[in-house]
């Protein structure tokens, strides 16, 4: 049941080999002289940064860092305020429950 089932052996006849045709001896070909390697030319456009564009790029990166930082700080502040409000609510509820048990 768990033994593999192999397909039957191929019954095609073995391929026949045809001997290559022999021709007259070819004349000796002289090897070409070695060529110095060349550097491939890139199709991509090159980006040239001028001082103004470099300054704009740095200012844009700085602004991006400030915006991301402000968003993260505001999220952290929201989590902290929510935690504090839940803690205050828990203390008030606990006080109410213990005050009811006492009277």
Residue-wise pLDDT tens digits, 16-58: 777 677 665 655 667 666 776 777 777 777 778 888 999 999 9
CA-CA distance, 98 to 73, in Å (whole number)?
A: 37
The answer as to whether 103 is a domain residue is: yes
The count of structural domains within the chain is 1
Q: What is the DSSP letter of 3?
A: S
Cα→Cα distances 22→14, 19, 32, 47, Å: 25, 9, 27, 59
Under 8 Å between Cβ of 61 and 69: no
| Domain presence at residue 50 | no
pLDDT at position 7 over 90: no
Compute the chain's Rg from CA coordinates.
41
Query: Could you tell me if residue 41 is inside a domain?
Result: no
Q: Which domain holds residue 92?
A: 76-103
């Amino acid at each position: 049941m768990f033994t593999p089932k192999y397909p039957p052996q191929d019954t095609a006849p073995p391929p026949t080999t045809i001997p290559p045709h022999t021709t007259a001896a070819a004349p000796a070909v002289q090897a070409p002289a070695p060529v110095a390697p060349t550097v491939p030319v890139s199709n991509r456009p090159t980006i040239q940064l001028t001082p103004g564009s470099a300054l704009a790029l740095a200012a844009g990166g700085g602004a991006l860092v400030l915006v991301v930082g402000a968003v993260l700080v505001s999220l952290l502040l929201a989590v902290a305020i929510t935690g504090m409000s839940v803690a205050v609510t828990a203390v008030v509820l606990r006080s109410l429950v213990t005050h009811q048990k006492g009277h």
